[in-house]
């Protein structure tokens, strides 16, 4: 039975769009990117305090299906009904944005899709966290990329890609000079600095998915809405130390380490998809 949204639900949805989804539209104006960030990753406004910073953030402390998590490989359930993630990625008209609490790529309307187990989601944006937010058997990686998709019913699917230090990542290499430009702006992080990228290819992100972990969780920043289907890819990519520094450079000191700690599973099921190769 569908219920009409309450004022509180509307408020939470708007905040989610502001802090995590950051949806772009043709009417987006530069001044709309100027936001005061009411949370951080340390001290009095750090993750342990998020739930008390604003009534709309209460789910950050009271929710029972929060993200990220530490994935216990020994307890995941192989689900033979799960299907490969079908990513129909091509090109986007992209803008590199300093969101204050992370660096990301925002795009306008596009035809890039994620099809997961029969449901279609539209690609909206990507952003990085460092160190990684998700862990696998207690192992925390050096960075994590979130590919954010939204379905017509408002539900969210996020593909998470983990990184360890090693060879340079080809995707980050394409924007590294622009990351340096973003850092050189030297404006306050609240000002939503941005650098146009123009046409940006997403083909490097559409490789076959032979393994992923799936669970139901939340946004990893306030308001921490529990409306996200998470897909953590099993293949770990690499990035160079220079690239890692470039992702951190545009951010203020309270956001350079922008990973929320792992949250309790609270009995949630973590499913595993693994391609069977005959």
Give the CATH number, domain containing residue 117: 3.10.200.10
Cα gap 46→65, rounded to integer Å: 19
pLDDT value at residue 117: 82
Assess if residue 62 is contained within a domain: no
Query: β-strands 135-136, 139-140: how paired?
Result: antiparallel
Assess if residue 210 is contained within a domain: yes
**Under 8 Å between Cβ of 225 and 11:** no
pLDDT value at residue 164: 98
Assess if residue 148 is contained within a domain: yes
pLDDT value at residue 168: 98
Assess if residue 1 is contained within a domain: no
Cα gap 58→50, rounded to integer Å: 8
Assess if residue 270 is contained within a domain: no
Assess if residue 237 is contained within a domain: yes
DSSP string, 6-21: PHHHHHHHHHHIIIII
Q: What is the mean pLDDT of each run of 10 residues along the chain (278 residues)?
A: 38 40 33 63 97 98 99 96 91 93 90 89 96 98 98 95 97 94 66 84 82 98 98 97 97 96 98 84
Cis status, amide bond into 79, omega within 30 of 0: no
Cα gap 160→269, rounded to integer Å: 18
In the sheet that holds 135-136, the strands lie side by side as 70-71, 135-136, 139-140
Name the domain count of the chain.
1
pLDDT value at residue 21: 43
Assess if residue 160 is contained within a domain: yes
Domain limits at 93? Answer: 7-28+37-57+83-259
Assess if residue 72 is contained within a domain: no
Cα gap 224→15, rounded to integer Å: 10
pLDDT value at residue 173: 96
- Among 240, 229, 170, 228, which Cα is nearest to 201's? 170
The pTM is what? 0.86
């Amino acid at each position: 039975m569908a219920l009409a949204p309450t004022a509180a639900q509307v408020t939470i949805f708007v905040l989610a769009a502001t802090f995590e989804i950051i949806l772009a539209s043709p009417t987006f104006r530069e001044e709309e990117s100027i936001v005061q960030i009411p949370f951080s990753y340390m001290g009095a406004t750090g993750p342990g305090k998020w739930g008390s910073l604003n009534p709309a953030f209460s789910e950050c402390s009271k929710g029972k299906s929060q993200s990220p998590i530490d994935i216990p490989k020994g307890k995941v359930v192989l689900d033979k009904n799960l299907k490969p993630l079908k990513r129909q990625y091509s090109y986007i008209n992209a803008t590199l944005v300093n969101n204050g609490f992370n660096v990301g790529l925002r795009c306008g309307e596009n035809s890039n899709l994620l099809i997961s187990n029969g449901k279609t989601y539209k690609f909206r944006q990507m952003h990085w966290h460092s160190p990684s937010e998700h862990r696998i058997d207690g192992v925390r990686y050096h960075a994590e990329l979130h590919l954010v998709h939204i379905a017509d019913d408002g539900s969210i699917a996020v593909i998470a890609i983990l990184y360890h230090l090693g060879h340079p990542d080809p995707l980050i290499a394409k924007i590294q000079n622009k990351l340096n430009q973003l850092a050189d702006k030297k404006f306050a992080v609240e000002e939503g600095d941005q650098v146009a990228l123009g046409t940006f290819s997403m083909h490097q992100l559409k490789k076959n998915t032979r393994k992923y972990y799936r669970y139901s969780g939340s946004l990893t920043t306030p308001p921490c809405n529990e409306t996200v289907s998470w897909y953590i890819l099993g293949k770990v990519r690499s990035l160079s130390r220079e690239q890692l520094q470039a992702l951190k450079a545009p951010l203020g000191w309270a956001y350079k380490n922008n990973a929320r700690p792992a949250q309790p599973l609270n009995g949630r099921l973590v499913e595993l998809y693994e391609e069977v190769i005959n």
